[in-house]
Amino acid sequence: MLLTLEGLDGSGKTTVWEALRASYPDAVFTREPTDSWYGDAVYRSIADDDADPLAELFLYTADHANHLSSTIEPALEAGELVVSDRYCDSRYAYQAATLADSRLDRPLEYVRDIHRPFTREPDVTVYLDLDPETATERSGSTNKFEQREYLERVSDNYERLIEAEPDRFVRVDATRPPAAVLTRVESIIDDLTDDRGVEPTEDRDIDDRR
């Protein structure tokens, strides 16, 4: 089973991902950008404020293709639980925002279409829901993506993705304390691995805001 963690910069994905390692020692923990030379190229682009947005999209996508063939697919074939800190939805949300002012008419659909023939959809995607203002504060605005106006566009794109696939996404309130967020994510994983399924998205929203 492939579970992905998504959300704005600073929403707490890595905090949850690190803590899950202790709870699920047999699972495979991975992330995008990856620790490969493709990932290194991506980080060079992140550090370049003048990087061409289309070139940047293809760097991230190359990293994803290698991630799939080298890590994700072998682990899934071996029957492992795979937990990825960011995955294809980061591209759909972030690069669609970066390309919003480009010559592309529908950037989100364009980025999705590039992935469609080769990617492997997550079985479930935990969306750590945080407002762009808090996300900007928590992330410390250390790179070109961690800016409030940009994260507002990214947030809108994530909302479009959730609306299009409500059964795949599980929204978790990321304003809650780290321990509460972790408990909620663990319960989602346990429900799935017990093969009991998860509650509908709207009900889950209500639960998380209690």
Ligand X SMILES: Nc1ncnc2c1ncn2[C@@H]1O[C@H](COP(=O)(O)OP(=O)(O)OP(=O)(O)O)[C@@H](O)[C@H]1O
Ligand Y SMILES: Cc1cn([C@H]2C[C@H](O)[C@@H](COP(=O)(O)O)O2)c(=O)[nH]c1=O
Per partner kind, with CB cut-offs from 5 to 8 A, the member of ligand Y, ligand X, none near residue 178 is ligand X
Site membership for ligand Y, residue 145 (CB under 6 A): yes
Q: Which is nearer to ligand X, 9 or 108 (CB)?
A: 9
Distances from the Cα of 47 to the Cαs of 42, 89, 121, 143, 144, in angstroms?
Answer: 9, 21, 28, 7, 8
Amino acid at 169: F
Q: Which is nearer to ligand X, 143 or 193 (CB)?
A: 143
Site membership for ligand X, residue 6 (CB under 6 A): no
Site membership for ligand X, residue 184 (CB under 6 A): no
Q: Which residue is nearest to ligand Y (CB)?
A: 94
E-only strand ranges, the chain: 2-7, 28-31, 82-85, 124-129, 169-173
Per partner kind, with CB cut-offs from 5 to 8 A, the member of ligand Y, ligand X, none near residue 184 is none
The C-alpha atoms of residue 116 and residue 146 are separated, in whole angstroms, by 27
Per partner kind, with CB cut-offs from 5 to 8 A, the member of ligand X, ligand Y, none near residue 60 is ligand Y
Q: Which is nearer to ligand Y, 58 or 183 (CB)?
A: 58
The single residue listed with the structure tokens 């663990």 is 186
Q: Which is nearer to ligand X, 113 or 133 (CB)?
A: 133
Strand order in the sheet with 124-129: 28-31, 82-85, 2-7, 124-129, 169-173
- Please report how close the Cβ of residue 46 comes to ligand Y at its closest, in angstroms: 5
Site membership for ligand X, residue 200 (CB under 6 A): no
Closest CA to 85 of 23, 188, 2, 209: 2
Neighbours of 139 (CB within 10 A): 18
Residue 97, token pair as written in the block: 């925002």
E-only strand ranges, 59-131: 82-85, 124-129
Rule CB under 6 A: choose which of 33, 107, 122, 132 binds ligand Y.
33
Residue 148, token pair as written in the block: 């409030």
Residue 122, token pair as written in the block: 């997550």
Site membership for ligand Y, residue 112 (CB under 6 A): no
Site membership for ligand X, residue 33 (CB under 6 A): no
- Which among 16-24, 67-75, 83-91, 123-131 is the span making contact with ligand Y, rule CB under 6 A? 83-91
Name the residues that contact ligand X, by CB under 6 A: 7, 9-15, 138-139, 174, 177-178, 181
